[in-house]
């Protein structure tokens, strides 16, 4: 959410809650040609923009907002008492970096007129102001969204000057106003078909004005068995309209995913080696071969993971690109024929798409090759996942020539799934391929509270997201991969379990159905499918009484100040009586406790929804409910510090999870994994 300046401001906030703002020092660095642009002395940078919450902690400081959302500002006069009773003017300005602001500090409000406010005593709740209630457009000539800076003009001078406070003004803006990601982008598209020989048929999409835009990243699409390379127009046209080159190719899927991996590799290599002649040479010098994303569907989805594994192992040596040039591998409903040894994304950023109604790669407990999440769990780098209730296997391509291959209630149409793909795919590639921070929050903020306008919004559309940043941005409290004892976390701290029937182990349904059996605590778990897949987690329940789990923090994980969120992932356990008794989101409370005994609590639902109930599909045994569907929940550390201003985030002693009627849902049975402090 923040530029380097914002990160510094956040660290100040966490170190000393009474001094959260950062004053920019008056410096004049010297370059080879003498002094360079001077910073504005006395300028204060801090997070101001976000969204109003109906419950504690009452406000969420976020950077990305969709066009049409309510964008607000908040200032805590308990933390900043100098503002109580003071009038000021709030400006919402087009983003400028520090050098641009120093060259031209004139304020110009994108709303036409700045906003006069008087800050009141009484803290943050008394000082939440709506900046935009959906009037502003997020459209920009290119890119994902419109960057804006928020300025509190302390002296009413109409310029950014000493004493003013700003959210933005650095490498990234104070907020992004995102154009609806489901809608077509600004660039006209050229599509062309051609072939370079056997299994080298290609469908190409690129912006008509590529000469003014390039070099552009390359997205390669590898279809599945029984599919066709011309069935991905929704991906090709959409991404090309935002400044990507997209090539979908013939894929040799009949022999299996290994053969498919070969055609992914060979088509990528042939395309890059023939840019001088493809489409009359219009792409020559305009494709950025150092930024390549592979997207595969079904056997092609396994094939793109195998292709990266072959590069990783040195088993395949391309001529026109290298392993380092693959910056994203994304699998749509992938098979898992070859297992961990081959279908392994290793360290590359990885993304998974799963359809809850998929009747082909169906996810049932009796079909290890049909369980998509294996590939996700093998990824050791940054990784993300999206699960769509009601989406069939064939709904991810755009041809009516292929069936939906769907089973279960509330099925989504191909048009709806295609629209959801476009809405999620654009910010996905913007973050992983371009490292555009405007798209980052779309990968983990809960769908209930943050969805693209234009995406289908019926009650049948249920979306669950997982996201885990790279290892350098994670401080793990318990990932359940080591220290198998229930009483000991993987980071070495004591765990006090006061819940019903806790079980720690492999997240793998050990029998062949999703039928509820008291003897199968991991029912519905499909993360681990073979001896080489070792994702572990905790399963537990509660039934009408208040229960808890407390994780004692050892010295190595007590200081959370370098991180922005407390993160965990969880799922409801399918067909368990504690799940089926109240089908709906499960809510519970998270509490942080510091070494002095101060504590702060919040519900996980404060920022969106709870933990989603399983898709209510039958078969794979008796009862209703499909494979356990995990989602990531992130709670801002800043929110905990605001709930309890004295909480010392640099000296935490425990993380407590509280369940039951006093803390959320009265009953439930959950899986839990990856309890950690994170930052992106």
Whole-number Å distance between alpha carbons of 524 and 329: 26
The answer as to whether 138 is a domain residue is yes
Q: Which of 267, 254, 259, 255 is nearest to 294 (CA)?
A: 267
Query: What Rg value do the Cα atoms of the chain yield, rounded?
Result: 25
| Residue 302 and residue 336 in contact, taking contact as beta carbons nearer than 8 Å | yes
For residues 660 and 643, what is the distance between their CA atoms, to the nearest angstrom? 21
More confident residue, 22 or 430: 430
Asked if residue 531 and residue 400 are part of one domain, the reply reads no
Residue 645 shares a structural domain with residue 659: yes
The CATH number that applies at residue 534 is 2.60.120.430
What gap in Å lies between CA 635 and CA 103, rounded to an integer?
Answer: 38
Cα 265 to chain centroid, rounded: 28
Q: CA 467, 472, 473: angle at the middle one, nearest 5?
A: 45
User: Would 419 be classed as within a structural domain?
Assistant: yes
Sheet holding 71-74, edge to edge: 59-60, 49-52, 71-74, 128-132
Does any domain span residue 184?
A: no
My answer on whether 632 and 661 are in the same domain is yes
- Tell me, yes or no, whether 90 and 117 share the same domain: yes
pLDDT band at 383 (very low <50, low <70, confident <90, very high): very high
Q: Are residues 412 and 305 in the same domain?
A: yes
Is residue 86 classed exposed, middle or buried when 0-12, 13-18 and 19+ CB atoms within 10 A define those classes?
A: middle
Same-domain pairing of 165 and 200: no
Q: pLDDT tens digit string along 32-73?
A: 333 333 457 788 999 999 999 999 999 999 999 999 999 999
Strand blocks (E) in 231-283 = 245-249
* Contact yes or no for 128/52 (Cβ under 8 A): yes
Measured distance CA(341)–CA(58) in Å, rounded: 48
| pLDDT single digits (tens) 252-292 | 999 999 999 999 999 999 999 999 999 999 999 999 999 99
Q: Please tell me the distance from the alpha carbon of residue 64 to that of residue 179, in angstroms, as a whole number.
A: 11
* Domains of the chain: total: 3
Of 158, 178, 198, which residue constitutes the final position of a domain?
178
| Domain-located, residue 183 | no
Q: Are residues 425 and 461 located together in one domain of the fold?
A: yes
**350 and 397 belong to one structural domain:** yes
The upper half-sphere exposure of residue 105, i.e. CA atoms within 13 Å in the direction of its Cβ, equals 17
Q: What is the pLDDT of residue 21?
A: 54
Q: How far is CA 209 from CA 183, 242, 245, in A?
A: 19, 11, 12
Any idea which of 3-7, 48-52, 404-408 has the lowest mean pLDDT?
A: 3-7
pLDDT tens per residue across span 144-166: 999 999 999 999 999 999 999 99
How many Cβ atoms sit within 10 Å of the Cβ of residue 55?
10
For Cα atoms 469, 658, 544, give the angle at the middle one, nearest 5 degrees: 130
Are both 200 and 337 inside the same structural domain?
yes
The domain that contains 206 carries what CATH number? 3.40.50.1820
Q: Are residues 114 and 223 in the same domain?
A: no
Instruction: Flag whether 624 is in a domain.
Output: yes
Q: Give the end of a domain, one of 468, 500, 515.
A: 468
Mean pLDDT of the chain: 93
- Let me know: does 365 contact 512? Beta carbons within 8 Å: yes
Q: 627: closest CA among 542, 520, 550, 526?
A: 526
Residues 560, 461, single domain; the answer is no
- Domain boundaries, position 502: 473-678
Distances (CA, A) of 417 to 230, 351, 390, 395: 17, 17, 9, 6
- pTM equals 0.93
Hey, what are 11's tokens?
């660290």
Choose one of 439, 468, 497: the last residue of a domain: 468
The reply to whether 216 falls in a domain is yes
What does the pLDDT average to over 372-394?
Answer: 98
Asked if residue 199 lies in contact with residue 252, where contact means CB atoms within 8 angstroms, the answer is yes
Is there a single domain that holds both residue 634 and residue 673? Answer: yes
Residue with tokens 């989406």: 391
Length of the chain: 680
Tokens of 195: 């072939």
429 token code pair:
């590639």
DSSP letter, residue 369? G
């Amino acid at each position: 959410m923040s530029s380097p300046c914002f990160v510094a401001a956040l660290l100040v906030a966490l170190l000393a809650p009474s001094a959260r703002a950062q004053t920019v020092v008056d410096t004049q660095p010297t370059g080879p040609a003498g002094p360079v642009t001077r910073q504005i002395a006395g300028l204060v940078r801090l997070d101001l923009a976000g969204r109003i919450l109906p419950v504690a902690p009452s406000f969420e400081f976020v950077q990305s907002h969709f066009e049409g959302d309510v964008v607000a500002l908040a200032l805590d006069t308990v933390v900043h008492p100098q503002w109580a009773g003071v009038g000021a003017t709030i400006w919402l300005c087009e983003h400028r970096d520090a050098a641009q602001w120093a060259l031209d500090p004139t304020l110009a409000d994108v709303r036409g007129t700045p906003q006069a406010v008087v800050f009141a005593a009484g803290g943050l709740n008394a000082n939440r102001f709506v900046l935009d209630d959906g009037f502003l457009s997020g459209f920009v000539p290119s890119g994902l969204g419109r960057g804006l800076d928020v300025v509190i003009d302390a002296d009413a001078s109409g310029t950014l000057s000493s004493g003013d406070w700003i959210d933005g003004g650095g490498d990234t803006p104070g907020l992004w106003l995102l154009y609806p990601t489901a809608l077509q982008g600004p660039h006209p598209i050229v599509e062309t078909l051609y072939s370079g020989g056997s299994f080298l048929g290609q469908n190409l999409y690129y912006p008509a004005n590529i000469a003014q835009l390039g070099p552009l990243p390359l997205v390669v699409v590898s279809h599945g068995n029984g599919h066709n390379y011309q069935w991905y127009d929704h991906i090709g046209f959409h991404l090309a309209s935002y400044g990507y080159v997209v090539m979908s190719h013939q894929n040799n899927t009949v022999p299996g995913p290994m053969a498919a991996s070969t055609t992914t590799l060979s088509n990528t290599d042939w395309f890059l080696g023939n840019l001088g002649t493809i489409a009359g040479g219009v792409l020559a010098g305009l494709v950025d071969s150092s930024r390549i994303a592979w997207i595969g569907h079904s056997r092609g989805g396994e094939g793109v993971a195998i292709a990266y594994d072959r590069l990783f192992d040195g088993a395949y040596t391309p001529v026109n690109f290298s392993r380092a040039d693959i910056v994203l591998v994304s699998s749509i409903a992938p098979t898992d024929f070859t297992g961990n040894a081959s279908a392994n994304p290793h360290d590359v950023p990885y993304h998974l798409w799963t359809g809850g109604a998929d009747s082909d790669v169906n996810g049932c407990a009796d079909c290890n090759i049909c369980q998509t999440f294996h590939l996700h769990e093998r990824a050791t780098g940054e990784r993300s996942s999206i699960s769509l209730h009601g989406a069939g296997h064939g709904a991810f391509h755009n041809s009516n020539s292929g069936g939906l291959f769907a089973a279960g209630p509330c099925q989504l149409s191909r048009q709806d799934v295609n629209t959801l793909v476009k809405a999620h795919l654009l910010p996905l590639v913007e973050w992983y391929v371009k490292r555009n921070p405007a798209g980052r929050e779309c990968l983990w903020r809960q769908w209930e509270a943050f969805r693209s306008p234009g995406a289908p919004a019926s009650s049948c559309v249920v979306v669950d997201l997982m996201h885990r940043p790279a290892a350098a941005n994670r401080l793990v409290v318990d990932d359940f991969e080591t220290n198998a004892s229930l009483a000991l976390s993987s980071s070495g701290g004591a765990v006090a379990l006061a819940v019903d029937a806790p079980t720690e182990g492999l997240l793998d349904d050990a029998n062949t159905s999703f039928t509820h059996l008291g003897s199968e605590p991991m029912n519905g778990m499909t993360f681990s499918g073979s001896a080489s897949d070792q994702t572990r987690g905790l399963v537990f329940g509660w039934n009408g009484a208040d229960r808890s789990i407390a994780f004692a923090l050892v010295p190595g994980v007590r200081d959370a100040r370098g991180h922005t969120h407390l993160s965990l992932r969880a799922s409801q356990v399918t067909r368990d009586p504690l799940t089926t008794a109240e089908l709906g989101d499960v809510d519970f409370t998270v509490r942080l406790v510091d070494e002095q005994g101060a504590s702060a609590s919040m519900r996980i639902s404060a920022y969106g929804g709870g933990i989603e109930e399983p898709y209510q599909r039958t078969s794979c045994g008796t009862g209703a409910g499909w494979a356990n569907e995990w989602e990531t929940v992130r709670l801002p550390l800043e929110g905990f510090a605001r709930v309890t201003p004295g909480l010392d985030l640099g000296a935490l002693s425990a993380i407590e999870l509280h369940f039951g009627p006093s803390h959320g849902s009265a009953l439930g049975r959950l899986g839990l994994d990856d309890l950690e402090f994170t930052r992106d």
